[in-house]
Structure 1
Amino acid sequence: MEVSIEKSQPTLEEFITLRAKVGWGETPNQLAKIALNNSLFHVVARSENKLVGMARIVGDGAMFFYIQDLIVDPDYQNNGIGNLLMQNIESYLSKVAFKGSTIGLLSASGKEDFYSRYGYKERNGTPLGYGMCKFV
């Protein structure tokens, strides 16, 4: 299987379909369109022109960066695609995130070890607290 990596935005339909395929539910078109257009960085993985993975960065572009929607199609998982996407994410961040910047993410359950290989750590509550989120 040959996989190509492109620094480009997935189509609206691809984005919605891939999120649903990994069990993240249906995303309304307008919400997905705004989310994609307001992202700082996109990277996609394609096999035979089909979207098989993606990741994006959101944030303010200076102090706060957030890794969002790192997704690999379940039919293509365990082939190194997540690592290829993450390498591109880290390359982008190395150019734009400076001392004092914060890079965050929410890991899917069981994927913490994947992110720890790239230097991400679970917050243990000291000194910053555990972190919180609100789903609307």
Structure 2
Amino acid sequence: MEVRISNRAPDLEEFMTLRTAVGWTNPKPGLVQQSLNNSLFHVCAHIDSKLVGYGRIVGDGAMYFYLQDIVISPEYQNQGVGRSIMQEIESFLADTAMPGATIGLLAACGKEAFYSRFGYNPRTGESLGLGMCKFVE
């Protein structure tokens, strides 16, 4: 199994298909495309011509960077695809995020240990609060 990593935005349809494969819902295609267009950095993982993993960074490109949509096709999970995507993301951040910047993410339930391997720490609520989000319906 040879995984090909590229730093380009995925095709809209292949990205939405990947999201569906892991049980995520998709907003309207125009909104998804605009979101991809506004991202700071993309990492696609392909096997042959199939998108099997993806991750991106959103934010202001200076003080705030957020890992978003780290998603691996179920049949390729636990095979190093996610690690390869994260290594590419971490390389970009090492070159781009200056001292004083904040890098954040919202881990899916049960995936916290994966991100801990890359130096991310859970917010326990003791000094910084737990973090919050709001979903627009």
Is this a same-fold pair by TM over 0.5? yes
Identity of aligned residues (%): 59
Superposed CA deviations along residues 88-121 of structure 1, whole A, max 9, x for unmatched, are 0000000111111000000011100000000000
Alpha-carbon distance between aligned partners in 2 of 1:55 and 1:67, rounded to the nearest angstrom? 7
1:127 aligns with 2:127: yes
The aligned counterpart of 1:30 is: 30
Shift of 1:128: 1.4
Superposed CA deviations along residues 51-73 of structure 1, whole A, max 9, x for unmatched, are 00000000000000000001110
SS at match of 1:53: strand
The aligned counterpart of 1:52 is: 52
Alpha-carbon distance between aligned partners in 1 of 2:74 and 2:93, rounded to the nearest angstrom? 26
SS at match of 1:46: strand
Unaligned stretches of 5+ in structure 2?
Answer: none
Shift of 1:26: 2.4
Alpha-carbon distance between aligned partners in 2 of 1:120 and 1:107, rounded to the nearest angstrom? 10
1:70 aligns with 2:70: yes
RMSD: 0.7
What is the TM-score normalised by the length of structure 1? 0.97
SS at match of 1:103: strand
State the aligned residue count.
136
Q: Which stretch shifts more, 125-134 or 30-39?
A: 125-134
Unaligned stretches of 5+ in structure 1?
Answer: none
List, as ranges, runs of 4+ consecutive aligned residues in structure 1 with deviation greater than 3 Å: none
SS at match of 1:68: strand
